[in-house]
Amino acid sequence: MKRIILFGLSLLAGTGLFAQQETPATYKLYGFIRNYAVFDTREVNAGTQDLYFYMPKDEKLVDGTDMNAVPTFRMFSLTTRLGLNVSGYQFGDMKVGGAVEADFYCMNGSVATLRMRQAYVGLTWDDVAGHKLLLNVGQTWHPMAVDMPHITNLETGAPFNPFNRSPQVMAHYSLGKATLTGGFIFPMQFLPIGPDGKSVNYNKYGLVPEMYLGIAYASGGFTGKVGVDLFTSKPRYTKGLSDRLVAVSPFVFGQYTQGKFQIKAKSILAQSGEHMNLLSGYGVSKVLSDGSYEYTPMRDWASFISCQYGKKVQFLATVGYMKQLGTTKDLVSTDLLWINTSAATSINEAFRFTPTIAWNIGKLTVSIEYNATAARFGRGERNARGLYGDGKWILNNRIENMVKFNF
């Protein structure tokens, strides 16, 4: 038996399996220490001590006085970040890298605790049918969220820009100036809404992962992207029900860089995009004879345009706009409608303007940002497409100071 095993191993060695060249990996610690000081002119819907800002709160009138028109101030270091980059490892023709990244964003009472942001492996082959192939496996940014506006606040433009990091298998295939991207995504930290609130179970029992397909083109100072996201889930995952939500969300992105100047813009027509931190959702359009539901996604149009100029002293500005467009079909009942609860579900449209000035002193950055966010809260009853009638605009003024040291 021993001779047979040795003979088999010699055959494998002859095929070159054990003859591959192996290059050891290199490691680099990175991160930053970041502190925020924030002032708001009224109460807001926001996550983690009001630092991750979504929208202002609607009026809360008591004897004619708006109880939400109360200014607030706070200071945080929650988003201080630690990361480890791994690169340089190579086995044969395959290059392997990756990253593990964490910050102190989660709260345990009044104490900030460590949480994982990213943890992925990148596999690269330089010659697959004459072109480069990169395969990312693990938790990292959603392809629609990667390109963010010029902004220093924590939410980086949400809900005017998709915000999502999720476990995924995503392939990037280079074709000269163009790159094809496609793969599968599974929600974890950023969850869809449904009958049981925000939950991973809608996708866990739905069995079909979220899918993305897109193409990017880069030439000179220009980069352009178009893509489409297919999201499917089972809002009611009880055995015997054939419930299935299907939502399709296309997007387009463009960026141009010339010297110290850069401008970028993105627009997404999201269906049921609440797992991407958009103010979206879905409802029931039909009840079948077996008790199963047919679903209709809520459409949400979200866009931004932003620019930046300078190096040591930088001037940044972002304008964002979002609007609820209603469900694709009539609802059987507005009671069977689920919308992102991160902000008031009565918001019909919203606008944001954020001018910023930042001073870069080596690895130290100090910035002052003004954030004007206005939301139009609907009034009356929802119509058959889930929309409220015309309502009132509510404005919050936020002034934010950031001090960040990169290492």
The two tokens of residue 164 are: 């999502």
Query: And the tokens for 407?
Result: 């290492």
| Residue tagged 């496996």 (tokens) | 137
Burial class (CB in 10 A: 0-12, 13-18, 19+), 258: exposed
pLDDT of residue 20: 66
The stretches in the chain having pLDDT less than 70 are 1-20
How far apart are alpha carbons 206 and 238 in whole angstroms?
A: 11
pLDDT at residue number 72: 96
How much is the pLDDT for 14?
Answer: 43
Helix (H, G, I), strand (E, B) or coil at 276: helix
Q: For tokens 């345009």, name the residue.
A: 305
Asked if 190 contacts 203 with a C-beta cutoff of 8 angstroms, the reply is: no
The pLDDT of residue 19: 52
**330 C-beta neighbours (distance < 10 Å), count:** 14
| DSSP, residue by residue, 49-113 | TTTEEEEEPPP-EETTEETT---EEEEE-TT-EEEEEEEEEEETTEEEEEEEEEEEEEEETTEEE
pLDDT at 404: 97
Task: Give 115's strand partners.
Answer: 103
Question: How would you class 141 by CB atoms within 10 Å of its CB: exposed for 0-12, middle for 13-18, buried for 19 or more?
Answer: buried
Tokens of 134: 């990169």
State the CATH architecture for 30-406: Beta Barrel (2.40)
What contacts 63, CB < 8 A, 6 or more positions away? Answer: none
Q: Cα separation of 253 and 100, whole Å? A: 28
pLDDT score, position 10:
45
The per-residue pLDDT for 84 is 97
> 308-312: long-range contacts at Cβ-Cβ below 8 A with a sequence spacing of 24 or more?
308/150, 308/261, 308/262, 308/263, 309/260, 309/261, 309/262, 310/260, 311/260, 311/360, 312/359, 312/360, 312/361
* Angle 53-59-62 from CA coordinates, rounded to 5°: 135
Q: 5 near 12, Cβ under 8 Å?
A: no
